[in-house]
Structure 1
């Protein structure tokens, strides 16, 4: 029997995740996931690819979404009263134009100090409308693409074996920044072929493979680049047909609801892997 063994949401894109025992699944993914984003003064999104110190920022959102607290070691925490009605400003996410609501000068100053680069914090506006791509279209906030990133424990364990065969230590699972980790599938990469998932009253549809980037080489505890692993090892057995290194899968939300660690996962439709 397969079950959910870990849930995490990432309130601020690129920053640390928040593990939870249960979560509300909205059309855009786990509640509050990637609902905030750090941008340059010009509105271009910041990412661990260029700003690995984002990993040091540990945000938490209150359940009603009205307050966001930012924490980082060696720095006083900052609580932001979330603005959902302020003026919109243009932001750039992978070259695509979106809107954001600036969360004020104290948040900007706090992030600029931690990151060592002048930054602003924006929130997804209530009217945010984004259609994500893949086999099952959906929506998301400021995520790279689809609403949910799913990976199985068997997939992570196979990578650890491949790393060990090359004389390398295992890589922490938080390098992959998954929303849902599933245990109980015997075969690694079953998430590639599980095209419809039922978790409680929530239904998810497979969108596409998760193509990995340099973020997987950032130590999430120190905010420093620690490559070349795991990408060097993954390149030996997980190259996608259309290019890139695939590890995990992206899903769209078909039916929102609540999910929890321990929930049974049922595959209601299977498909062929795109690898």
Structure 2
């Protein structure tokens, strides 16, 4: 029986995740997922692609979202009251214009010190009306695209088997930063065909496969970046028609609700894999 074996949300885009045993799945994904984003002084988002030290920042947000604490080794923790209603400034995510509420100079100074580059922190404004693309349109905060990224244990096991054949070591699930991990599907990449899911009190609708980038080469514990794995191996058997490599699946939230580790994952509708 396929079940949820891990739930992780990422309060600050690009920073470390917060594992939980249960979570509220909102229309924009797990509660507080990617509701904050680090940007340059010009408002362009920072990513582990160019700023791998983001993964060394461990955020924690209260259940009601009013307090955010940032931690990183060799720096004093910083706790701030979240500004959720102040004036919004223009920000840019993958070239698309959005808006974000700046969280002030103190947190900006802390982030700039940790990352070694002038940085600021913004929060999704209340009127954030982003519409995501894919087979099932939806919304999300500052996620790359859809609200939920799901990956199965069998899918990662196959990749690690192929890495081992090349003499490379296995990778942990955190290298791919999924929100939901499912175990119990015997076939790798079953999530490619699972187009309508029920888990806990929530429902998910398939949007598209997850295109992978250089972030997969960043060690999520140390921020060390190496290559060419896993992208080289993925390119051998997971190359998409567009030319990129795909691994894992993105979903829209069709019905919000509570999800817990141990919940059964029921596929309500199967479809053909999209390549």
TM-score range, shorter chain: over 0.9
The alpha-carbon deviation at position 242 of structure 1 amounts to 2.3
Measured in 2, the distance between the counterparts of 1:209 and 1:243 equals 13
Give matches, 1:122-137, under 5 Å: 122-137=122-137
User: Does residue 145 of structure 2 align to residue 145 of structure 1?
Assistant: yes
Measured in 2, the distance between the counterparts of 1:8 and 1:23 equals 9
Q: Deviations over 1:60-110 (max 9, x none)?
A: 110010001000011100001000111110000011100000001110000
Measured in 1, the distance between the counterparts of 2:172 and 2:270 equals 29
SS in structure 1 opposite 2:188?
coil
Where do 5+ consecutive residues of structure 2 fail to align? Answer: none
Where do 5+ consecutive residues of structure 1 fail to align? Answer: none
Q: TM-score, normalised by structure 2?
A: 0.99
Measured in 2, the distance between the counterparts of 1:203 and 1:128 equals 22
Measured in 2, the distance between the counterparts of 1:224 and 1:79 equals 27
Kept after mapping to 2: 8 A contact 1:241/1:274 = no
Post-superposition, which runs of at least 4 consecutive aligned residues in structure 1 deviate over 6 A?
none
Q: Deviations over 1:203-245 (max 9, x none)?
A: 1000000000000000111112122111111111100122210
Corresponding residue for residue 74 of structure 1: 74
How many residues align structurally?
A: 275
User: Does residue 31 of structure 2 align to residue 26 of structure 1?
Assistant: no
User: Does residue 105 of structure 2 align to residue 105 of structure 1?
Assistant: yes
Give matches, 1:201-220, under 5 Å: 201-220=201-220
Q: Deviations over 1:148-189 (max 9, x none)?
A: 000000001001100001111001211100000000000000
Give matches, 1:1-275, under 5 Å: 1-275=1-275
SS in structure 2 opposite 1:234?
helix
SS in structure 2 opposite 1:155?
helix
Kept after mapping to 2: 8 A contact 1:198/1:268 = yes
The alpha-carbon deviation at position 251 of structure 1 amounts to 0.2
SS in structure 2 opposite 1:125?
coil
Measured in 2, the distance between the counterparts of 1:118 and 1:46 equals 11
Q: Deviations over 1:31-63 (max 9, x none)?
A: 000000000000000000010000100001100
Q: Deviations over 1:241-265 (max 9, x none)?
A: 2221000000000000000000000
Measured in 2, the distance between the counterparts of 1:262 and 1:123 equals 31
SS in structure 2 opposite 1:236?
helix
Measured in 2, the distance between the counterparts of 1:263 and 1:188 equals 20
Measured in 1, the distance between the counterparts of 2:113 and 2:223 equals 14
